[in-house]
Each structure stands twice: as structure tokens, then as C-alpha cells.
Amino acid sequence: MRDAYIIGVGQTAVGRHNDLSLRVMAARAVEAAMHDAGAESVEGLYVGNMLSGVLLNQQHLGALIADAAGLRGIDAATAEAACGSGGAAVRWGVMAIASGQHDIVAVCGVEKLTATDPRITTRGLAMAADYDEEASHGVSFVALNAMIMRRYLYEYSLIPEDLAYFPINAHHNGARNPNAMFQKAVDMRTYRRSPVVADPIRVLDASPICDGAAALIICSGDRMAEIKASGRPFARVLASANATDSVAVHSRATPMFLQASYLSSRRAYAQAGLEPQDINFFEAHDAFSVMAALSLEACGFAGPGKAHEMAKEGEITTEGRLPMSTMGGLKARGHPVGATGVYQVVEAYLQLTSRAGPNQVQNAAIGMTQNIGGSGATVATHILQRMN
């Protein structure tokens, strides 16, 4: 297997883009990434998206976005794995390079969630759950995560405020990210005053409905001589791993443990020859506060029921032991579902190439991203290394 390197990234600001179509957002992100990489062309394009068919009546995004970005004729396809679609697309891109199929490819994640009635969007997001076992009984995706959070709090004798340090940290970082949807810090008082969405989940426990597109360029080692000569920054992909669990939460052996996160992270650690303590920062899938905690525990960064202690003690800040959600995460940067996994890798690349601005993690050499589909049914983990 060949080494894969990320050599350029692009992104749109996350938010509500009434004036931009999905194809325009995606094309802009791809074009920005190609410009950043100094690439005039690519051989493949892999697009992460979850809901364009349901919400926008548009499928076939691989060809659509390739055409919009001036790349007509290349290999292109769409990856769908619910909220983990972006991570799946990144994995396709890495595998295309590692296998020798291509020497340079683009990966794009894009989602437009604000163009439809919120009730339709909510119904679409519920498709990440098991329809027969969960959604058909009227359980929305937020309600499903509320049940998970309630059980988690019960299991470990916690209160909602114990998990509030995750969104507080995310908003602190998002306030310093010009591409974040929410660029305002919050505190515990703000958290307590935020409305309850589905008890015990408050507004500040949940990621927002939004639009966005992010892209990156991946190449093989054969291209590295010219990249090094150009002086452009790059990062090596040390690991790309995926794992699955049952889509229905009640079918899992231990609902309070993300088995797919555990398997995906352990496969990634094995590929990279690393252990959890070797990771310098973690871009977690903090779509809900409880998911941030469960991810930290499944990946080996904290013991069962102990993740909140890391957050409360400041260990997940950009100056802490394991900086997390360094550009705001899903909570503050925003969660355009099919694009999220690509945003995570883009942000990890920016950290590793010292381009993260006010949110820069000092001496960041190894970064990990984890993108979750559904409530833990599909999990893609990537580990990146600083190279220059």
C-alpha cells in the first residue's frame, strides 16, 4: 500500500446560504482546495453527502460537482453513510491513492439543510436511525440522542451540567474560527438558560441545522518531490479505518459504549503504530454533548463515565492535554451532515501545517478525526501526521 498525503484544502463558511446552491458551494470548496494544493487537475473526486436526494431532489453528485468544478471526465462518485458520509468519502480518497488506482484525487463533503421546511429536514435526518425499529415509531434523531443522554447520566450519576463543558469548549474555539456558524463564546449560565429541545438535551447540547462544503486534495508519494520543491505544506495520512455497529441503539450489546468507535479507533491506532496517548489533538463528532463523551471513552482517552472530567478540568482546550473540537467542532463550527467528516480532516490538516490561526495547538504533530454516522452505527477514523 502506498502512502497518501494531503496537500491542499478548501472550505466555505458554515451557516445558512440562501444565495448558494449545493453545486456552487461544492465547486467553490473543490476549486479552493485545488488552488491551495497548486493542482491544475485531479484524477478522481469522491463526494460525501447524506440528504441531497431527499431535500433537493438531486442525486448523482459525483458527476454534478465534477462538472461544476471544471473536472468533467474524471472518476467521480458519492459516498453515503448518514452523518458519516464525509468520513466515508475521505476514506475512499485515501484508498484510491493507497491502492495505486490514482495519483491525485479530490474529496468533497457538501450538504444544504436550510432550503427546506425544518420538519422535512428533521424527517430526513431521522433516516440515520433504523426506520423499522426507531424512526417509524415517531422517534426523531434528537429524541433518540436524548434517550442516550438520559441513560448515560443515569448510569454514571451525572447531571446535564456535567456535559456542558463540551459545548462551552466548542463555542470558545468557534468564536475564533471565521468559518464557524457560531462565533460567540458561552458559559455555564448561558447553557442553563438555553431551551430544552428534548429532555435532557438543551439547544447548547445539539449541533445546528446548516449548510456548508469542504474539500481536500490527496496525492501519492510520487507527487511529493514537486510538492516539497514548491514549499507547500502537506500532511501524511497515517491511518484510515472504518467500523460498524447495529443502526438501532437497542440492538447493541452495550448501548452506553460506542463499539464502532472503539473498533475504528483501534484499527487506526494499529495502522499508525500508535496508542491513544500519542494523539496530540482530537476532532470528535460532537453532534450532541453525550456523543463527545462517548467518543472520548470509546477511543481510549477516558474511562467509562469519566470523559466529563477531562472537559471540566480543561484538558480538552487548545492548551490542554488533548485539545478537542479545535475549530468549534460540530456544535459551534456547525454540522452540515455529509460535509462534517471532510471539515474535520481539513481542520486537522490546518493544525498540522500551523495554519489554524488563534486556535493553533502548539507542537501538534499527530491529529485524529472521528466521524460518526447515525448514533454510532458507522464510524470513520483518520490519523494524520505533520511532515514539515
pLDDT confidence of residue 273: 98
Question: Each residue of 320-347: pLDDT tens digit?
Answer: 999 999 999 999 999 999 999 999 999 9
Q: What is the mean pLDDT of residues 292-315?
A: 98
pLDDT confidence of residue 230: 85
Q: What does 321-387 look like in DSSP terms, one character per residue?
A: SS-BSTT-HHHHT---GGGHHHHHHHHHHHHHTT--GGGPPTT--EEEEEEEETTTTEEEEEEEEE-
Residue with cell 467521480: 76
Check residue 213 and report its DSSP letter: E
Question: Each residue of 126-166: pLDDT tens digit?
Answer: 999 999 999 999 999 999 999 999 999 999 999 999 999 99
Kindly report the average pLDDT of the chain as a whole number. 97
Give the class (CATH, top level) of 123-207+238-386: alpha beta
Check residue 217 and report its DSSP letter: E
For residues 65 and 21, the answer to whether their CB atoms sit within 8 Å is no
pLDDT confidence of residue 46: 99
Backbone angles phi, psi at 358, to 5 degrees: -60, -20
pLDDT confidence of residue 201: 98
Q: What does 250-302 look like in DSSP terms, one character per residue?
A: GGSS-TTS-HHHHHHHHHHHHHHT--GGG-SEEE---SBHHHHHHHHHHTTSS
Question: Each residue of 166-222: pLDDT tens digit?
Answer: 999 999 999 999 999 999 999 999 999 999 999 999 999 999 999 999 999 999 998
Q: 22-37 vs 61-68: helix axis angle to the nearest 10?
A: 60
Catalytically active residues, by annotation: 83, 335
Let me know if the fold of 4-117+209-235 is the same as that of 123-207+238-386. yes
Close Cβ partners of 229 (under 8 Å, ≥ 6 residues apart): none
Question: Each residue of 81-103: pLDDT tens digit?
Answer: 999 999 999 999 999 999 999 99
Tell me which of 3.60.15.10, 3.30.200.20, 3.30.365.10, 3.40.47.10 is the CATH number of domain 4-117+209-235: 3.40.47.10
pLDDT above 90 coverage of the chain, percent: 95
Band of pLDDT at residue 2, cut at 50, 70 and 90:
very high
Band of pLDDT at residue 22, cut at 50, 70 and 90:
very high
CA angle 363, 368, 369 (to 5 degrees): 135
Q: Render the burial of 183-222: b for 16+ CB within 10 Å, e for the rest.
A: bebbeeebbeebeebbebbbebbbbbbbbbbbbbbbbbee
pLDDT confidence of residue 372: 98
pLDDT surpassing 90 at residue 224 = no
pLDDT confidence of residue 296: 98
Domain ranges of the chain: 4-117+209-235, 123-207+238-386
Distance CA 36, CA 57 (A): 32
Within a 13 Å sphere around the CA of 68, how many CA atoms are in the beta-carbon half? 19
Report which of 375, 330, 380 is spatially closest to residue 148, judged by C-alpha positions.
375
Close Cβ partners of 56 (under 8 Å, ≥ 6 residues apart): 22, 112, 115, 116
pLDDT confidence of residue 1: 81
Band of pLDDT at residue 229, cut at 50, 70 and 90:
confident
pLDDT confidence of residue 44: 98
What residues form DSSP beta bridges with 52?
Answer: none
Report which of 381, 340, 313 is spatially closest to residue 11, judged by C-alpha positions.
340
